[in-house]
Amino acid sequence: MTSRIGCRELRVSARGRELLRVPELDVAAGEVLAVLGPNGAGKSTLLRALGHLGHLHRTGDVLLDGRVAGPRELRAAIAAVLQRPILRRGTVAGNAAAGLRLRGVGRAEARRRSAPWLDALGIGHLAERRASTLSGGEAQRVAIARALAVAPRVLLLDEPFAGLDATTRADLLADLRTVLDGLDTATVLVTHDRHEAMALAGRTALLVAGRIRQLGPTAHVLDHPVDLDCARLVGFTNVLPPAVTGRPRLAAARPEHCVVGGDGDGLRIPGTVRRVVPLGAATRVDVDTEAGTLACRSVDANGLGPGAPVTVSVPEAALRPIPTNGAFVAT
């Protein structure tokens, strides 16, 4: 893989505490890498360190096309979209052209070059609207169009779907996937949502406590976690000990695969209902078992209430073995 953006022995610290340590990371031209992690894991810190954004105490090297790059080179090559888009006063078209204007492009040319990106993101019809009147999803689309208009070699996306309702998020995910598919840009997407990683990224890195624990093809990383922290991060939140599974080591399963009242082959774990939580089309049932409290779904929640005896069914195919050494794994 020819790296467009990368790092070697990158470390970030604050007040004597190391926040981030990434010995090696590479993202190729045309690739989308998702960095998935919980709040406080260091995801945004990694983006800022790669882009020399803000004031960080960092050591190590950031590479651009395989060569060590300084702040000036990186800022010329990189465009970033942050969680909360910052729009200037004026029109949507003016905001989309702002990045080009800052690079010395004339007003008319900047608007000409940015207009196709507004169209690609479905907001070309809003070009003359005042930016202050936009919804959150519309504002985020403008911010992405502004970043893409400068033809960046590297695009950094920091939780670009945060705060959006489900429909707006799904629409933006689909449009962004279409836009990124045709680019030669190396994209790093920071997210805490595995579904966003699956929708956009060819590879995913799991970042826990400032360290990359697992890195590989997205589908594999999301379905085969290498330790307990990674398992919980990608949705395998029900942890089952060997005494319950009969397997030689810990196993984990996602709540959607643990069914109260289900039947068929697999594990059958007795327990009592702790609580029932209706979630629209589905019902979550928390069940106290010898493996601890399991989050489950219910086939039929009628008559279920706290203290009710139930059986939780877990298909064998839904179980994932969990190694316990916590070492970094590239898959």
Is the pLDDT at 2 greater than 70, yes or no?
yes
pLDDT per residue over 255-310, tens digit each?
A: 999 999 867 678 999 999 999 988 877 789 999 999 999 999 887 777 788 999 99
Q: What is the pTM of this model?
A: 0.92
Q: What is the pLDDT of residue 102?
A: 92
- 3-class state of residue 307 by DSSP: coil
Q: What is the pLDDT of residue 325?
A: 61
Task: Count other C-beta atoms under 10 Å from residue 3's C-beta.
Answer: 19
Is the pLDDT at 326 greater than 60, yes or no?
no
pLDDT per residue over 57-115, tens digit each?
A: 999 999 999 999 999 999 999 999 987 777 888 999 999 999 999 999 999 999 999 99
Is the pLDDT at 207 greater than 70, yes or no?
yes
Q: What is the pLDDT of residue 176?
A: 94
pLDDT mean across residues, the chain: 92
- Contact between 179 and 145 under an 8 Å Cβ cutoff? The reply is no
Name, in order, each residue with C-beta under 8 angstroms of 134's C-beta and a sequence gap of 6 or more.
Answer: 87, 92, 126, 142
